[in-house]
């Protein structure tokens, strides 16, 4: 049995932070990624497409998305591919949601939004070749451990469990910052009689443990810099007793990526910054096997380290100007430029031990790095009080860590008049 496993598609994410043009492009990217998912399913001649929750981002469904969904799913229905869509915390239940009124395909399409696991047979050429067992979220805050309610795999053919759940390690999943849990489960709650667990919820591609057949595919199309990198779906071949063969296939038409550019010590003109950014971008594209031809990029360029243009690049307006320039020259959909710790180039060795405030400060910083007694004496008592249990060695190591970069910071502050 061959399945395609996707999750966390989040169609019609509002993208409120972006202007209208970019918002539309990103929403279209979500729909295009879904079309690419259907292409992949057909190309791979998969027996089933499994969507492990969060197909939708919220209860708002655009007409464009509804059209794409119905026409794309019809292609799968026509080809006889079974689709199993188990709901997640973003698209739970049957009522309330426009998804309840979509004209879903009549054949081979299973929308499962009930907590009770259901067995769905998978057929090829009229013969049953495997099972999918699915449970869905009924509410936006499903606190039940849904994984633990799955029956043993039906057998004798391969069986796949589909579930949107926060599966943690042996301890189970912790609540998020707001105290919410989403179908929390431990790895041990996933019944080992299943040949594969098609999970959703965590937006990062992840195998739960090296030896477990439990995977998160990550989301289909990244939506912000927290969802950077190649995004797509998993193609899974099940042929027990062999372990499942899992292949990642990138599908996202827009890719988010951070570029860290640190070597700017010789950058005296903005063209030099451009060259350094371009080199980092080229490196990324050459070293990554999952780059798709014609893919669009949204880049966050993080500049840091000594740079003669620091004063210019610390201005928001100038960074916006650079971002616009980079967007055009790199052909990216959007670029933002961040000051991630730029500093004016200062030759510290010229100042150490000189008879001025900076010289003395640098000498003191250097000495404190070598002399534990001095370091302890210089540390404000507030720093020491917080962690009385810590061993002296740990405390000194912590204090020494605070000295990192202090010399450059002191020099910059004291020399600001010259460098600005
Ligand atoms: Mn999600």
Region of poorest pLDDT, from 50-54, 358-362, 377-381: 377-381
- Cα(13)–Cα(247) distance, integer angstroms: 27
Residues with CB under 5 A from ligand 1 (ion): 8, 54
Q: How far is the CA of 89 from the centre of ligand 1 (A)?
A: 7
Contact 346, 420 (CB under 8 A): no
Q: How far is the CA of 187 from the centre of ligand 1 (A)?
A: 19
Rounded alpha-carbon distances, angstroms, from residue 372 to 367, 389, 394 = 9, 19, 12
Q: How far is the CA of 57 from the centre of ligand 1 (A)?
A: 8
Quickly tell me which residue has 């002296």 as its tokens.
392
- Cα(332)–Cα(355) distance, integer angstroms: 51
Whether residues 355 and 399 share a domain: the answer is yes
Contact 33, 252 (CB under 8 A): yes
Q: What 3-state class would DSSP assign to 116?
A: coil
**171-201: pLDDT as tens digits:** 566 666 677 778 889 889 999 999 999 999 9
Q: How far is the CA of 220 from the centre of ligand 1 (A)?
A: 10
pLDDT at 96 over 70: no
Whether residues 321 and 371 share a domain: the answer is no
Q: How far is the CA of 82 from the centre of ligand 1 (A)?
A: 22
Confidence (pLDDT) at 420: 43
Whether residues 332 and 360 share a domain: the answer is no
Confidence (pLDDT) at 127: 95
Q: How far is the CA of 6 from the centre of ligand 1 (A)?
A: 11
Q: How far is the CA of 227 from the centre of ligand 1 (A)?
A: 11
How many Cα atoms are found within 13 Å in the side-chain-facing hemisphere of 125? 2
Domain that holds residue 226: 2-251
**For residue 23, what are the contacts with CB-CB under 8 A and spacing of at least 6?**
14, 15, 16
Whole-prediction pTM: 0.85
Total domains, the chain: 3
Q: How far is the CA of 52 from the centre of ligand 1 (A)?
A: 9
pLDDT at 62 over 70: yes
**For residue 71, what are the contacts with CB-CB under 8 A and spacing of at least 6?**
none
**316-360: pLDDT as tens digits:** 999 999 999 999 999 999 999 999 999 988 877 777 777 788 888
Q: What 3-state class would DSSP assign to 130?
A: strand
Q: Which of 314, 343, 372 is the last residue of a domain?
A: 343
Q: Which of 343, 374, 409 is the last residue of a domain?
A: 343
- Cα(142)–Cα(181) distance, integer angstroms: 7
Whether residues 221 and 363 share a domain: the answer is no
Q: Which of 319, 343, 367 is the last residue of a domain?
A: 343
Q: How far is the CA of 92 from the centre of ligand 1 (A)?
A: 12
């Amino acid at each position: 049995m061959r399945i395609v496993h996707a999750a966390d598609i989040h169609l019609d994410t509002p993208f409120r932070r972006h202007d209208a043009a970019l918002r539309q492009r990103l929403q279209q990217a979500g729909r295009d990624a879904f079309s690419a998912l259907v292409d992949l399913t057909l190309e791979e001649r998969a027996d089933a497409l499994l969507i492990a929750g969060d197909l939708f981002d919220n209860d708002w469904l655009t007409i464009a998305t509804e059209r794409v969904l119905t026409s794309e799913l019809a292609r799968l229905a026509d080809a006889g591919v079974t689709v199993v869509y188990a709901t997640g915390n973003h698209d739970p239940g049957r009522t309330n949601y426009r998804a309840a009124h979509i004209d879903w395909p009549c054949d081979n399409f299973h929308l499962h939004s009930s907590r009770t696991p259901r067995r769905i047979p998978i057929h090829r050429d009229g013969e049953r070749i495997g099972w999918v067992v699915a449970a869905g979220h009924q509410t936006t805050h499903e606190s039940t451990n849904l994984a633990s309610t799955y029956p043993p795999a039906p057998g004798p053919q391969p069986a796949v469990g589909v579930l949107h759940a926060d599966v943690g390690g042996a301890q189970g999943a912790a609540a998020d910052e707001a105290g919410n849990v989403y179908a929390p489960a431990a790895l041990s709650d996933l019944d080992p009689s299943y040949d594969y667990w098609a999970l959703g919820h965590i937006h990062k591609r992840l195998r739960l443990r090296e030896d477990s057949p439990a995977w998160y595919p990550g989301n289909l199309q990244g939506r912000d810099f927290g969802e950077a990198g190649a995004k797509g779906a998993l193609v899974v071949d099940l042929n027990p007793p062999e372990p499942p063969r899992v292949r990642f296939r990138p599908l996202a038409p827009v890719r988010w990526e951070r570029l860290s550019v640190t070597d700017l010590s010789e950058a005296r003109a903005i063209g030099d910054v451009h060259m350094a950014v371009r080199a980092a971008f080229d490196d990324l594209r050459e070293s990554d096997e999952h780059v798709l031809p014609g893919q669009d990029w949204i880049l966050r360029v993080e500049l840091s380290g000594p740079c003669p243009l620091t004063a210019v690049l610390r201005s928001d307006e100038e960074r916006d100007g650079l971002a616009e320039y980079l967007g055009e020259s790199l052909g990216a959909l959007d670029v933002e430029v961040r000051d991630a710790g730029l500093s004016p180039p200062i030759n510290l060795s010229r100042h150490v031990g000189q008879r001025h405030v900076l010289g003395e400060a640098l000498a003191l910083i250097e000495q404190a790095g070598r002399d534990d007694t001095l370091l302890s004496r210089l540390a404000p008592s507030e720093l020491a009080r917080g962690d009385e249990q810590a061993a002296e060695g740990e405390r000194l190591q912590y204090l020494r860590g605070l000295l990192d970069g202090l010399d450059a910071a002191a020099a910059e502050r004291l020399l600001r008049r010259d460098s600005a």
